[in-house]
């Protein structure tokens, strides 16, 4: 993955942004938390551009049936047509409407990005927290595992994994991507957890008799919300790109309509050589825009955790 999230050094004093959920009001806590996080991100210029792009893609995905003029799978058109008033982006070699495929494709890319990002973050948080909070053999073992996954080239590993799996669906891609992209997040979270472990508020929580589970999840975890969000967005970026690569190679489910499979069929049908460059240009640009939006939002998240990166 060429996306490298600018990882803030965890030693920066006051790196964590403590989130305290106040007394329960008429709006449930998690929703209010989400609203506040969005407002903070919105105040960062780069992140706000990212939020706008992401919001646009989400709207397209949700209202796909209303936006798309035709069915994405119907093979009712003349194949290999250039863009026209009925088929805005032209038609595929199978006589499908490319514009409708683009609109529906947003669903798959979003799904893979968000699902793989979420699973990878879950793994990263679990392994990072345990390793950071339990120094000694457990930490050494988990850190070794993390470093191993980190140095093994991710994309080739993904290709091999996907090639071995015989039955494929979108979820195969989600799990393959999640399996290979948790390590960066785990390492960052581990080092933050190990510095927080020795802070007074954790020590006092342990002395006041709080259990291991409560200390880790109620005392330590809330202090690295921004790191967790950061690793989610980097994993989601990686997932969107990896999905496109896997599907372009034909390692996805060829029956789903996604930006990656549009590229796959475009390459199979030599669209560039027949002058149908829109078939290659449009899905790639959409993938790039979605990946950009995740990265831009991550800038905002980084600025939350590292005051030196904040815009004045």
Partner 1 sequence: MRYVARKVVLFLITLWAAITLNFILPRLMPGSPVDAALAKLASSGQPITNAQRRAVEIQLGVPNTSLITQYWDYWTSIVHLNFGTSYSFPSETVAQTIGKAAPWTLALVGVTTIFAFVIGTLLGVYAGWRRGKAADTSVTLGATFFAAFPPFWLGLLLLYVFAFTYGWFPIKGGYNPGETPNLSVSFLTSAVYHSVIPALTLAITSLSGWVFGMRNNMINTLGEDYVTFAEANGLRTRTVALLYAARNALLPNVTAFGLSLGAVVGGSVLVEGVFSYPGLGNLLYIAVVNHDFPLMQALFLVITVAMLVAIFIVDVLYVRLDPRVRQ
Name the residues that contact partner 1, by CB under 8 A: 1-9, 46, 144, 147-148, 150-157, 159-161, 163-167, 237, 241, 244-245, 248-251, 263, 267, 272-273, 277, 280-281, 284, 287-289, 291-292, 295-296, 299, 308-309, 311-312
Residue whose CB is less far from partner 1, 83 or 222: 83
Q: How many residues are recorded in the chain?
A: 312
As a whole number of angstroms, the distance between CA 203 and CA 200 comes to: 5
CB of residue 241 to partner 1, shortest distance in Å: 6
Residue whose CB is less far from partner 1, 221 or 230: 230
Of 1, 3, 2, which is closest to residue 298 (Cα–Cα)?
Answer: 3
As a whole number of angstroms, the distance between CA 101 and CA 73 comes to: 8
Q: Answer yes or no: are the C-beta atoms of 98 and 271 closer than 8 Å.
A: no
Residue whose CB is less far from partner 1, 164 or 207: 164
Residue whose CB is less far from partner 1, 70 or 113: 113
CB of residue 85 to partner 1, shortest distance in Å: 25
Phi, psi of 295 (to 5 degrees): -65, -40
Q: Answer yes or no: are the C-beta atoms of 188 and 128 closer than 8 Å.
A: yes
> How many other C-beta atoms are found inside a 10 Å radius of the C-beta of residue 82?
13
CB of residue 280 to partner 1, shortest distance in Å: 5
Of 64, 69, 59, which is closest to residue 103 (Cα–Cα)?
Answer: 64
Q: Give the gyration radius of the chain's Cα atoms.
A: 22
| Helix-helix angle 137-151:98-133, to 10 degrees | 150
Residue 21 tokens, joined: 């959920």
Beta bridge partners of 91: 97
Residue whose CB is less far from partner 1, 70 or 260: 260
CB of residue 175 to partner 1, shortest distance in Å: 12
CB of residue 245 to partner 1, shortest distance in Å: 6
CB of residue 136 to partner 1, shortest distance in Å: 17
CB of residue 162 to partner 1, shortest distance in Å: 8
CB of residue 269 to partner 1, shortest distance in Å: 13
Cβ neighbours of residue 230 closer than 8 Å, sequence gap 6 or more: 5, 7, 185, 188, 298, 301, 302, 305
Residue whose CB is less far from partner 1, 215 or 296: 296
Integer CA distances (angstroms), 118 to 73, 223, 304, in order: 29, 19, 20
CB of residue 81 to partner 1, shortest distance in Å: 19
Residue 90 tokens, joined: 């032209």
Residue whose CB is less far from partner 1, 97 or 247: 247
As a whole number of angstroms, the distance between CA 23 and CA 105 comes to: 42
Residue whose CB is less far from partner 1, 215 or 263: 263
Residue whose CB is less far from partner 1, 228 or 242: 242
């Amino acid at each position: 993955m060429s996306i490298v999230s600018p990882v803030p050094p965890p030693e920066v004093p006051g790196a964590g942004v403590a989130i305290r959920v106040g007394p329960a009001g008429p709006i449930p806590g998690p929703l209010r938390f989400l609203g506040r996080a969005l407002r903070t991100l919105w105040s960062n210029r780069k992140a706000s551009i990212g939020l706008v792009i992401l919001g646009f893609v989400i709207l397209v995905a949700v209202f796909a049936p209303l936006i798309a003029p035709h069915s994405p799978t119907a093979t009712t058109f003349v194949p290999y047509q250039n863009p026209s008033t009925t088929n805005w982006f032209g038609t595929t070699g199978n006589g499908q409407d490319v514009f409708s495929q683009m609109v529906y494709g947003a669903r798959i890319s979003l799904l893979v990005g968000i699902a793989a990002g979420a699973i990878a973050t879950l793994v990263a948080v679990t392994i990072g927290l345990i390793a950071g909070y339990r120094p000694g053999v457990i930490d050494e073992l988990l850190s070794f595992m993390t470093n191993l996954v980190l140095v093994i080239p991710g994309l080739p590993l993904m290709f091999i994994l996907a090639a071995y799996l015989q039955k494929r669906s979108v979820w195969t891609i989600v799990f393959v991507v999640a399996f290979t992209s948790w390590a960066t997040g785990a390492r960052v979270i581990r080092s933050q957890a190990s510095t927080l472990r020795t802070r007074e508020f954790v020590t006092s929580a342990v002395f006041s008799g709080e259990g291991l589970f409560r200390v880790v999840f109620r005392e330590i975890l809330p202090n690295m919300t921004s790191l967790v969000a950061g690793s989610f967005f980097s994993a989601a970026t990686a997932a969107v790109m990896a999905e496109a690569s896997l599907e372009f190679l034909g390692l996805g489910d060829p029956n789903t309509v996604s930006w990656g499979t549009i590229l796959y069929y475009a390459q199979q049908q030599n669209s560039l050589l027949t002058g149908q460059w829109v078939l290659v240009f449009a899905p790639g640009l959409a993938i790039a825009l979605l990946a950009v939006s995740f990265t831009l939002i991550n800038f905002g998240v980084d600025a939350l955790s590292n005051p030196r990166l904040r815009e004045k």
